[in-house]
Chains A and B, each alone.
Chain A
């Protein structure tokens, strides 16, 4: 059975087709979910893709978290379903409280659009289950607000519970502890600033994102088999 991946689309989302393309090539079945719909239509996994949801007005992700689809995503996540937020999707998940902390403006105030190297810090997450621990992946970033911050208690908890999923090898944006991606306590919700879908074909300059998307599809299929 091919895993069904629901891809949430807000007004202003712009990476949904890239994610759908990559998911389909890896054998998954992508399905776009409009933000105003309150159901996930049988998805085995959910991706909140990049873009500028609701114009990023007020703060990135601040308005998106009130879209009806987010209640369904929160219920799905609470039940253990795999949810991945990429770039703006990470910002949405943080605003929605599905992941701790916040993403704020890059140190240096530059919009960054470049490939970066990220180290896989844990394979105990929906996005890294199949990755090699400690391996370095070359993935593109494309953001102005990717500077992860959280309070000291959260920071300690993320470290102690092995919830830092990806770290930048060279910190591009001032992110706390070089954090590029984190996961939830249950390890099924993952947020990351780099775009794995844009590193899923040799023509795009890197295929290092494939192992992450494959991990997501594998986690989704497991869940579907259990359900």
Chain B
């Protein structure tokens, strides 16, 4: 089965996010003075071929841990969508 994985990478809570802080400081200049907790992260998409969703998730999780994210400063979330198989 093929799955599309969307990985969202954000800063761990408690780790400073200079990009988020800068964006948050800029928004009031445009009149949006009601915005807080801006976080800027990264989004990675990939297609993975695996036996089932559990196997796909386990592999993407391992990729995140080993390369896609830095567990020292980043957290990640994985979203999987099964792709329609092509005949």
Contact = CB atoms under 8 A, between A and B. Distances in A.
Contact of A147 (B18, B67, B68): B18
Interface stretch (A33-41, A80-88, A100-108, A127-135): A100-108
B16 A107 contact: yes
Interface in B1-44: 15-16, 18-19, 21-22
Interface string A89-104: 0000011000011101
Interface residues of A, number: 20
B81 interface: no
B70 A149 contact: no
A106 B21 CA distance: 12
Contact of A174 (B18, B67, B68, B72): B18
B70 A59 contact: yes
Contacts of A102: 70, 72-73
Nearest to B11: A104
Interface in A134-170: 147, 149-151
A137 to B, nearest CB: 26
Contacts of A147: 16, 18
B72 A105 contact: no
Contacts of B73: 102, 104, 149
A109 B67 contact: no
A62 interface: yes
A203 interface: no
Interface string A52-76: 0000001100100010000000000
A147 B70 CA distance: 15
Contact of B18 (A94, A95, A108, A151): A108
B75 to A, nearest CB: 13
Nearest to A173: B18
B21 to A, nearest CB: 8
Contact of B16 (A66, A101, A149): A149
Contacts of B15: 104, 149
Interface of B: 15-16, 18-19, 21-22, 67-68, 70, 72-73
19 contacts: A59-B70, A62-B70, A66-B67, A95-B70, A101-B72, A102-B70, A102-B73, A104-B15, A104-B16, A105-B19, A107-B16, A107-B18, A107-B21, A109-B19, A109-B22, A149-B15, A149-B72, A149-B73, A174-B16
Give me the 6 closest cross-chain CB pairs, A-B, nearest first.
A102-B72, A102-B73, A105-B18, A107-B18, A109-B22, A109-B18
